[in-house]
Each structure stands twice: as structure tokens, then as C-alpha cells.
Structure 1
């Protein structure tokens, strides 16, 4: 499936590709992994200057008025270079949530800062059991207070704010904005298998600002947007792994001949490319459904199917890429193995493959 970008999206994609090629090759990326911030603040500022962080923010708040298609295109580009930047939590989840649920005052205060790259927000929704929210919100004369824990919050240690889902008495799951530096917030920082910074967050009477009324439909819409972006990032990782593998088959020689002349390896490479293009088509279809540009009904069903299908294909493609590289594919110094690590992290984001299979099968939570 081919997607025609508009006159705003295409120049942004071209500029983004040039920036990432210059600043986010594998050598630079490995330096960012060891940085204290866990990413590159300089690159993050350049992304904001390009308009990447503002692409899907409403024009009224300084953005370009984009939608899930913009998130998809940008996430795919970031996936190709194994980006460590906090784009997903801040520009996808937080900006979308504030745009959907936040009051006019909250939107006016927060969205311009996100678009300018001045504000980083970590998405804190997942808990020990996928699909369940046990963090509690209490309300008193002084406002809202949160109690509970959110494990494995991506970029949770470096974010200025946390966007937390919590159970409010009589209202179900609601969204709360928490100043991560305030009393009652404890963050235990660490790195994931792919180098992404994360933190286990404990909330012990942390003061919080509630966003507007969150309905189950709005929460699902928000999660679908995140799933769409995660699938696109996996497609980007698959694309890069395929490119590395095909190039390796064309240059590596054994017994005096290119290994790419082996028909069995050619067939395996073709299977990788087929899996990539199938996944890309489903990713595009989901983004278009969320943007209201195709005739798919009930975007929640395509989101579950997309997460399962793309994750399965991404694992297959990256595992094949490592196998076809041989021993070098397992080394820390070579990029191809890092794509599988990234896929394993993205699999857990917004529910893993088994969780979404359960939703497709209609299993209870």
C-alpha cells in the first residue's frame, strides 16, 4: 500500500530523513545510549525546530494540524535509526491526550510547549497486569492525590511531567498530570534492553492535576493512536534490518562467491521483504482509519490485529536478519541485533502480542 503525503508532510519527511542520516547513524546512536539523559537533547531540539514535535498538534496551539498519519510517518523514520528520543510519550501520547481530553486552558498552557520541544511528558499507563489500572486517585479540598505504582515508564526519569491513568471513585479510569519533581513521586531509573531510559514510578500521595472527562471510548482512541505509532516504528526497524541484510548478502563472500548467490538465502530475503510490506500496509491502514480517511469501521479491531501481525512479522524479520548475518549479527558493535532488541521493547508497549490476541479472541481481562 502506498501513501501519498501532502505538501506539508512530504517536506517534513525529507528534512527529517536528512537530519537523522546526519545526526543518528549507528555510531552517534550508541553515544546517545551512554549519555546521562539517555537520548540527545541537541537532536531533540533540532526535531522540534523542524516541526516534528508539533506535526499533529492543532494549528490553534502552534502546530501543523496533523493526525495519526503524521505520527505514523515520523515514527517509521525514527524506527529506522533506533531513535532514543522521547517522541512517543511526549508528541504522540501526551499531546494526543491533552488535545482529546484537556480543557482549553490546559491545551493552551501545555500544547505549545510540547510543540516547541520545551516540555517532555512521560506516558504512565501500563501496570503489572496489562489492561488493568490499579493506581487510585483521591480528591479533597486541596485537589487530587494519586497512590500506587506504574512500572517501566519510558523516559520516566527525565520527563518534567507524568501523564498518569488512575481510578477515580465512581468515574472509572481518568487522566492526571503529575509534576515528576514534586513530593510523593519516586522514580527508580534504569535502561531497557535496547538502551531506552525507563523508570519504575511510585506515587505516594502525589498531587495531580486532572484533565477533562475521560470516557472508555476516548481512552481506547488514545491507546489506538499509540499502537499505530508503535507499529509504524516497528515497520521502520524492519525496513532498516532488511536493508542491512540485503546489502550484506551482496558483499559477503564465502568459498569464493557471494552468499547472496545462494538461492535459499534469496528466498529468505524475499520472505523478509514480503513480511515488511504486509506490515507497512497494515500500519498505513490503521493510521488512515484513525484519521478517518478510509472505510474501516471500529478502529479498535484493526489496532489489535495490527499490533499482533506487525509484532509477529517484526520478530521474524529481525531474527532472520541476525541469522543471515551470522556471528556478526550478534555483536554489540553491529546494528542489526539492536533492531530485534527494539522490537522486543515495542512489543510490550500498549500491551504485548498475547494481550492483543486475547482481545481479538474476546477473552476477558
Structure 2
């Protein structure tokens, strides 16, 4: 069994397929995720999956990371794994081992507060600026502030009580206004930009998983729901709609996996941006289409909050704009690689 297959298999411990009882129980609560599950993710090496072994990580690539993120999306997992991996990347890069070790163990959750404006992947590091859209901020044990110093960025620790607002999927975003604390170290040039691209690609993989989960549930429904004495999946109109959705999922998988392969091969900044943005744009558009169609194809029951298929649509609505909206990524791709996505 290769590393990707092992990761997919191990994800079942946190995100068992077909069982969303844990997800429902955590919706609209604080902190919105299970600290014990976060520690389990640390014990399984997921938070440090991208770090080299000498830094306490697993030394795996983007191919393995997106496979894990896909399974997290399929299971609608609320634990902020992508945000934890981002923080681990920055802490390792600036040599902050004291803060890194408990994060990798799942004992802490320092969130990187980088975003200063809506719908951007730019991190200018402006001192005193409010930091926006921090997922699951109520569960953070602290925050990391990238701040501009001369021609580069440095990483600072920060503490504070974020303002929070609920999101469609039952989680929340936080807004942080906090003064920097201890200086943790300097960030290498281009490191934060590359780390944000990886976070965007992992979010694209989560959207792929969301689409797959909704589609699988819909296929089961088409096989079991009967009208006029036969399964509705035998109706040609519904078969055509299902095929169209399957094609969109296949194209999304190809785009996400191609981007991961490109980044693992050491793509330069412009090709990296193009590959990442193509994948995130396609994944967001496909997940929104698939989850909306899934709700419709379930009929009236699909529109009830008690039925699970709607949870996939809610998750897609949140993830679609996280680490850049589809329109932002289309513009980034066009700037780097042409006019088509």
C-alpha cells in the first residue's frame, strides 16, 4: 500500500464515510470542533505532514496532502487542518521550535492571522491592521502575525479575543485586533506566498471531497427512491444529469492532482500560481454545481436541514471563498497562464 492509499485509509478514523452524526453535533457550537480529534490528528502526523523529518514532520508531498484534504472534505471535518498546516509551515521556516512542537502534537492551535482584506491571497503584513476571516478562531490557543519589516516579513506571536460570526456550515470566522507579542523569527522571502498557495490547493482538494460526498449520497438515493414502480435512477433525464456531475468531478480531480504534481516538482512562482488557481477555481465551481444539483435531485427532502445532503452544500458555500474566491483565482490564472481556465 502506497503513502496516499495509507493516508486515505487512516482518514476513516476521523471522517468515516456515511456517518455525519459527529459533524451535526458540533454545528453552531464553540469552538466548533473537537480538541480531542485535533490531538488525534497531531498523533497521526497530519499537522506536520508537509514538514521534513528533521523538523518533526512526515516529509510527504502535496500529492499526499491533497489526498488527505480530499478525505477531510468528504467527511465535512470541522477541525481546521489546513490552517494548522499553514501555521506549522511558518513556525518551522522561522525556527520557532518551542511553538512548533506542541502544534505538531495537536496540543495547541495557533492560527495564522494573515488576511487584511476580503477575497485576497496577498499578505502585506501591515502593523495594526485587523486580521479577517480566521476559521474556527474561538478554538485558537493563540495567533501568529506576519508583519512587514524593511523588505521582508517576520512572524510574531499574538493573543487576543477575536470577534466571531457564524458561517453557513455551522462553523465561524473570527476577526482579530491584537498587538504583536514575542518575535518568533524572520520568514524567508516568498515563503508565505508559497504556503498560501498550498493552503488554497488543499482547500480545492477539500471541495473535491465535498462534491464526491454529495454525489455518492445522490447516487444512493437514485438507486433506492422509487416512483412508478421503478428506481428513479433508471429515468434517462436523471441519468444525464448524474453523468454531467461525474464529469465535473473527474475534471476537478485531474486539475487538483496535476497542480499537486506541479508543486511537488518544484514549479516556479508563476506556474505554481497558475496551477493552484486553476485547481481552486474549478473545484469551487464544480462543488457548488454538484452540491446544488444533489439537493435538487433529492426533491423536497433535500431542502430540509435534517437531511444530510444539505450539509455538503453549506460546506461548499464556505470553502468556495476560503483562500480566494473563484473570481479571484480566475483572474490570477489569466494573469499567469492565459485567458482560459
- TM-score normalised to structure 1 length: 0.84
Give 2:259's aligned residue.
286
Change (3 A) 1:202 1:71: same
Spell out the pairing of 1:334-349 with structure 2 (5 A cutoff).
334-349=307-322
Off by >6 Å, runs of 4+ in structure 1: 293-297
Match among 165, 176, 179 for residue 201 of structure 1: 176
- How far off its partner does 1:220 sit? 2.4
Match among 80, 88, 92 for residue 95 of structure 1: 88
- How far off its partner does 1:286 sit? 1.0
The answer to whether the 8 Å contact 1:123/1:154 transfers is no
Give 1:144's aligned residue.
none
- How far off its partner does 1:14 sit? 1.2
Larger mean CA deviation between 308-317 and 35-44 belongs to: 35-44
Paired with 1:236 and 1:34, the residues of 2 have a C-alpha distance of 22
The answer on 1:117 being equivalent to 2:106 is: yes
The answer on 1:165 being equivalent to 2:146 is: yes
- How far off its partner does 1:44 sit? 1.9
Paired with 1:322 and 1:37, the residues of 2 have a C-alpha distance of 28
Give 1:141's aligned residue.
none
Spell out the pairing of 1:32-181 with structure 2 (5 A cutoff).
32-91=26-85, 93-99=86-92, 101-103=93-95, 106=96, 108-131=97-120, 132-133=122-123, 136-137=126-127, 147-168=128-149, 170-171=150-151, 174-180=153-159
The answer to whether the 8 Å contact 1:160/1:179 transfers is no
Change (3 A) 1:175 1:246: farther
After superposition, the CA RMSD in angstroms is 2.4
Paired with 2:88 and 2:43, the residues of 1 have a C-alpha distance of 17
Paired with 2:269 and 2:329, the residues of 1 have a C-alpha distance of 18
Paired with 1:362 and 1:295, the residues of 2 have a C-alpha distance of 15
Paired with 2:319 and 2:45, the residues of 1 have a C-alpha distance of 24
SS at match of 1:298: helix
Match among 354, 358, 361 for residue 327 of structure 2: 354
Paired with 1:276 and 1:130, the residues of 2 have a C-alpha distance of 25
The answer to whether the 8 Å contact 1:12/1:51 transfers is no
- The alignment of Structure 1 onto Structure 2 pairs a total of residues equal to 335
The answer to whether the 8 Å contact 1:135/1:149 transfers is no
Stretches of structure 2 lacking an aligned partner (at least 5 in a row):
337-341
- How far off its partner does 1:347 sit? 1.5
- How far off its partner does 1:281 sit? 1.1
The answer to whether the 8 Å contact 1:44/1:117 transfers is yes
